[in-house]
């Protein structure tokens, strides 16, 4: 029997042929599975026919809320028998984004069943990049006539220079993509234009900017109660689409200058965080952050600002905590831990510092600094004839550098430190990423071949830990201090730790317990058969100078 699609092809062979010359073409069946793609599609998307056929339509869109919402919006139009046409971001086989003008046409069989869909796409990536670049430097948002992001920054900086008091309000339309999904025939642009006109009417004499598809910033002198009133105003002045009021709600955050934050970057960041808090609670409100929150935020920004200087001026320090072998009772390894004391900020713990450094990219410098210090100490041990190793903590962000392996080897060589004297500690979060990203596990394997061993730190705090033992080159696990704390008081924890030790042994992994604070814990752990222990009871972190080399 001739299928609808065959019929269509028979009727329109020339049209199809012509289309295929100029457009990327994909066919999808009623389950959303890809059944055909032409050469043009394969070229742009970097897929091979073998790999792409049978993949779903949704897998061609970015795995972000925005990307998937767009895919669902298109699909829901098609299911309702409507064609869809618009701009869409898609991803290549390697996850790189590209932009297309997309026309999706449903073919309806027996008036209800969707038989096949054709997607005609035109690659407009270059045009989009150009538009975004223009948008970046442009003064106004071309859809709404509101200020652009670039203009907003200039405006705020001018106000700060003049020392004027003002409020920065960050607004986001709640679940915007779901909203336009339901009302897909009303153009997104029209909804945004109506929303912008509500903003202009309410926040008269204020400066308003559009900073992304569904995000807006208002610079205003109005009081908090007035700003918060925009939520009610929006309810009283709804935006209509097809004669029905859209259930439009917003989340918003307010920051004050100069009381809360002192720079454009920090004002925007704080207002964004306040908005996110509201949004997480379900949205529909505009709120300010508590003064405690601002204090934490200010401390974070100060750490962020002072860190580059502290690194160049050698203000960071490395301390070493011994690990004792249970059989010999000797310190066989020291773990390197970063320390930073700042006159103004006081003690900055690694738990505070590392996430900030991961964010601003300085984690690479910190990693190199600690490894260099550790390599010097390890080389000293070697020269003094001690078979003592040094463990260094690594963040997965450091492994985003594809040259990390070479960098590590260079540092060790310069310090005359044999790679076998160094162990790297990774967390389960790290292991999860390493499994996902081939380049991370490949570098780990290369480092292991050079003689560097890996330890899985904080064991038991993540999930699915057992899997990593098979796919990654891990030779040791470190049971998290959370379990050790209650090992003598909770029978359940004791059983769990016993289980972990047995599991490690059966996998021929060595097992260490960290956070050992009492003699009872130490005795019990020894009885259970751990290979080594680390903790305040057996030895606190000390500077390299305090370690005896005799």
Beta bridge partners of 147: 140, 209
From candidates 22, 142, 482, 536, binder to ligand C2E by CB under 6 A? 536
Nearest to 256 by CA among 230, 294, 228: 294
What DSSP assignment string belongs to 458-516? EETSSS-HHHHHHHS---EEEE-HHHHHTTTT-HHHHHHHHHHHHHHHHTT-EEEEE--
From candidates 351, 436, 508, 548, binder to ligand C2E by CB under 6 A? 351
Q: How many Cβ atoms are within 10 Å of 72's Cβ, its own excluded?
A: 15
Asked if 524 touches ligand C2E (CB under 6 A), the answer is no
Asked if 455 touches ligand C2E (CB under 6 A), the answer is no
**Cβ closer to ligand C2E: 252 or 535?**
535
Positions 402 through 441 that interact with Ca ion (CB under 5 A):
425
In the list ligand C2E, Ca ion, none, the entry touching 515 (Cβ below 5 to 8 angstroms by class) is ligand C2E
From candidates 26, 255, 393, 453, binder to Ca ion by CB under 5 A? 393
Return all residues near 200 (Cβ < 8 A) that are at least 6 apart: 208
Asked if 368 touches ligand C2E (CB under 6 A), the answer is no
3-state secondary structure of 394: coil
* Omega prior to 258 cis, within 30 of 0: yes
Asked if 457 touches Ca ion (CB under 5 A), the answer is yes
Size of the site for ligand C2E (CB under 6 A): 21
Q: Where are the beta strands (DSSP E) in 124-179?
A: 166-173
355 half-sphere exposure, CB direction, 13 A CA radius: 5
**Cβ closer to ligand C2E: 8 or 369?**
369
**Cβ closer to ligand C2E: 52 or 392?**
392
Q: At CA 537, angle to CA 547 and CA 317, rounded to 5?
A: 40
In the list Ca ion, ligand C2E, none, the entry touching 156 (Cβ below 5 to 8 angstroms by class) is none
From candidates 62, 229, 473, 541, binder to ligand C2E by CB under 6 A? 541
Q: What does residue 509 show for φ and ψ, rounded to 5 degrees? A: -105, 150
- Sign, CA torsion 111/114/116/118: positive
Task: Please tell me the distance from the alpha carbon of residue 224 to that of residue 499, in angstroms, as a whole number.
Answer: 56
In the list ligand C2E, Ca ion, none, the entry touching 242 (Cβ below 5 to 8 angstroms by class) is none
Asked if 352 touches ligand C2E (CB under 6 A), the answer is no
Task: Please tell me the distance from the alpha carbon of residue 264 to that of residue 261, in angstroms, as a whole number.
Answer: 8
**Cβ closer to ligand C2E: 32 or 350?**
350
Asked if 458 touches Ca ion (CB under 5 A), the answer is yes
Positions 222 through 251 that interact with ligand C2E (CB under 6 A):
none
- From the CB of 204, what's the least distance to Ca ion, in Å? 56
**Cβ closer to ligand C2E: 104 or 396?**
396
Stretch that binds ligand C2E, among 110-118, 153-161, 179-187, 534-542 (CB under 6 A): 534-542
Return all residues near 373 (Cβ < 8 A) that are at least 6 apart: 318, 336, 544
| 263 CB burial (10 A radius; 0-12, 13-18, 19+) | middle
In the list ligand C2E, Ca ion, none, the entry touching 80 (Cβ below 5 to 8 angstroms by class) is none
Convert 201-258 into a string of H (helix), E (strand) and C (coil). HHCCCCEEEEEECCEEEEEECCCHHHHHCHHHHHHHCCCEECCEECCCCEEEEEEEEC
Asked if 394 touches ligand C2E (CB under 6 A), the answer is yes
From candidates 18, 21, 349, 439, binder to ligand C2E by CB under 6 A? 349
Positions 503 through 522 that interact with ligand C2E (CB under 6 A):
515-517
Stretch that binds ligand C2E, among 62-70, 85-93, 348-356, 382-390 (CB under 6 A): 348-356
From candidates 213, 354, 368, 547, binder to ligand C2E by CB under 6 A? 354
In the list Ca ion, ligand C2E, none, the entry touching 121 (Cβ below 5 to 8 angstroms by class) is none
Nearest to 481 by CA among 448, 504, 458, 512: 458
Q: Which residues bind ligand C2E (CB under 6 A)?
A: 321, 337-338, 349-351, 354, 370, 393-395, 425, 457-458, 481, 515-517, 535-536, 541
Instruction: List residues near Ca ion by CB under 5 A.
Output: 393, 425, 457-458
């Amino acid at each position: 029997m001739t299928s609808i699609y065959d019929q269509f092809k028979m009727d329109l062979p020339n049209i199809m042929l012509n289309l295929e010359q100029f457009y990327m073409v994909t066919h999808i069946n009623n389950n959303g599975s890809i059944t055909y793609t032409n050469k043009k599609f394969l070229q742009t998307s970097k897929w091979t026919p073998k790999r792409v056929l049978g993949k779903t339509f949704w897998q061609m869109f970015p795995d972000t809320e925005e990307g998937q919402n767009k895919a669902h919006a298109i699909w829901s139009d098609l299911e309702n028998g409507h064609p869809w046409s618009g701009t869409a971001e898609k991803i290549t086989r390697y996850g790189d984004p590209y932009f297309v003008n997309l026309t999706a046409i449903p073919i309806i069989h027996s008036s209800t069943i969707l038989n096949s869909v054709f997607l005609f796409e035109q690659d407009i990536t270059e045009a989009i990049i150009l538009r975004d670049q223009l948008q970046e430097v442009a003064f106004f948002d071309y859809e709404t006539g509101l200020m652009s992001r670039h203009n907003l920054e200039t405006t705020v900086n001018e106000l700060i220079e003049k020392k004027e008091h003002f409020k920065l309000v960050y607004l986001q339309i709640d679940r915007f993509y779901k909203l336009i999904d339901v009302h897909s025939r009303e153009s997104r642009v029209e909804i945004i234009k109506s929303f912008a006109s509500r903003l202009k009417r309410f926040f008269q004499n204020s400066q308003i900017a559009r900073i992304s598809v569904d995000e807006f910033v208002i610079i205003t002198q109005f009081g908090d109660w007035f700003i918060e009133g925009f939520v009610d105003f929006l309810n009283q002045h709804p935006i209509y689409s097809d004669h029905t009021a859209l259930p439009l709600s917003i989340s918003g955050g307010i920051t004050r200058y100069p009381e809360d934050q002192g720079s454009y970057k920090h004002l925007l960041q704080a207002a964004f965080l306040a908005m996110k808090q509201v949004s997480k609670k379900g949205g529909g409100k505009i709120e300010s952050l508590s003064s405690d929150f601002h204090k934490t935020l200010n401390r974070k920004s100060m750490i962020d600002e002072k860190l580059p200087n502290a690194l160049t001026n050698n203000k960071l320090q490395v301390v070493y905590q011994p690990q004792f072998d249970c059989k010999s009772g000797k310190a066989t390894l020291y773990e390197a831990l970063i320390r930073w004391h700042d006159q103004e900020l006081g003690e900055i713990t690694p738990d505070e510092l590392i996430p900030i450094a991961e964010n601003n990219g300085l984690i690479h410098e910190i990693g190199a600094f600690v490894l260099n210090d550790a390599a010097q100490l390890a080389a000293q041990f070697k020269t003094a004839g001690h078979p003592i190793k040094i463990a260094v903590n690594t963040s997965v962000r450091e492994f985003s550098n594809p040259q990390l392996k070479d960098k590590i080897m260079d540092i060790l060589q310069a310090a005359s430190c044999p790679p076998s004297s160094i162990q790297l500690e990774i967390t389960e979060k790290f292991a999860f990423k390493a499994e996902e990203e081939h380049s991370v596990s490949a570098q780990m394997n290369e480092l292991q071949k050079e003689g560097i061993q890996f330890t899985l730190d904080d064991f038991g705090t993540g999930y699915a830990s057992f899997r990593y033992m098979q796919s990654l080159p891990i030779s040791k696990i470190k049971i998290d201090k959370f379990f050790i704390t209650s090992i003598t008081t909770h029978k359940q924890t004791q059983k769990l730790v016993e289980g972990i030790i047995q599991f490690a042994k059966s996998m021929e992994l060595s097992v260490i317990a960290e956070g050992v604070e009492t003699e009872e814990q130490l005795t019990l752990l020894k009885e259970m058969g751990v290979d080594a222990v680390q903790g305040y009871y057996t030895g606190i972190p000390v500077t390299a100078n305090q370690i005896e080399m005799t």
